[in-house]
């Protein structure tokens, strides 16, 4: 069984992405997924916002906001990668018509027009050699009650480990 590498994904928010891209608007924006970069002619074909309500497998109510950015991974007209400022302008244009929650979870939908669309979460953009690089990792399914339990157990073991200050333990 292959495990999904969660180390590059942090479920960044739209506001985090835009804040980082604003530091160098002319820098090319390159997304990396499945071991390669998107083609230079990629398009942002759709941006959509959703408000979700659900019941998880532990019968706990869940609610969240999510923004989906659809990338069409094509090479067209010998174009160069989209500048960060153009990507940000597309998002601003969408926000003129659709309410985009800045703190919403950000998901990328990517397809080359041949293969089915796949869902990815994004790592924080990094300015590398004059280009912004954004690593996309497959968005895994999860069990929210188990995830909460693991987070609590990890926090407790970090607090009460051998070298931890014992005053934080109950």
Q: Is the pLDDT of residue 134 over 90?
A: yes
In angstroms, the CA 141 to CA 101 distance is 23
Give the pTM: 0.82
What is the model's pLDDT at position 76?
Answer: 81
Q: Is the pLDDT of residue 100 over 90?
A: yes
Three-class SS of 15-59: HHHHHHHHHHCCCEEEEEECCEECCCCCEEEEEEEEEEEEECCCC
User: 57 to each of 61, 90, 147, how far by Cα in Å?
Assistant: 10, 37, 12
In angstroms, the CA 155 to CA 78 distance is 50
- Short-list 158, 141, 167, 143, CA closest to 60: 143
Contact 44/69 with Cβ under 8 angstroms? yes
Q: Is the pLDDT of residue 31 over 60?
A: yes
Domain residue ranges in the chain: 14-140
Confidence of residue 77 (pLDDT cuts 50, 70, 90): confident
Bridging pattern class, strands 126-128 and 131-138: antiparallel
Q: Kindly state the average pLDDT of the residues 5-17.
A: 72
**Where do the DSSP E strands lie in 21-160?**
29-33, 36-37, 43-55, 61-72, 105-111, 118-122, 126-128, 131-138
What is the model's pLDDT at position 11?
Answer: 81
Q: Kindly state the average pLDDT of the residues 148-169.
A: 71
């Amino acid at each position: 069984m292959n495990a999904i590498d969660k180390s590059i994904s942090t479920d960044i928010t739209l506001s985090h992405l835009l804040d980082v891209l604003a530091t160098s608007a002319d820098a090319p924006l390159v997304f990396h997924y499945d071991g390669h970069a998107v083609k230079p002619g990629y398009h942002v074909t759709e941006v959509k916002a959703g408000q979700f309500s659900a019941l998880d497998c532990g019968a706990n109510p869940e609610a969240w906001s999510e923004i989906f950015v659809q990338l069409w991974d094509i090479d067209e007209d010998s174009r160069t990668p989209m500048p960060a400022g153009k990507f940000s302008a597309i998002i601003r244009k969408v926000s003129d018509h659709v309410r985009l929650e800045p703190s919403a979870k950000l998901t990328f939908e990517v397809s080359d027009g041949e293969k089915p669309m796949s869902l990815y979460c994004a790592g924080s953009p990094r300015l590398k050699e004059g280009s912004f690089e954004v690593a996309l990792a497959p968005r895994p399914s999860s069990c929210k009650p188990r995830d909460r339990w693991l987070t609590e157990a990890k926090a407790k073991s970090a607090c009460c480990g051998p070298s931890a200050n014992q005053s934080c333990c109950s």
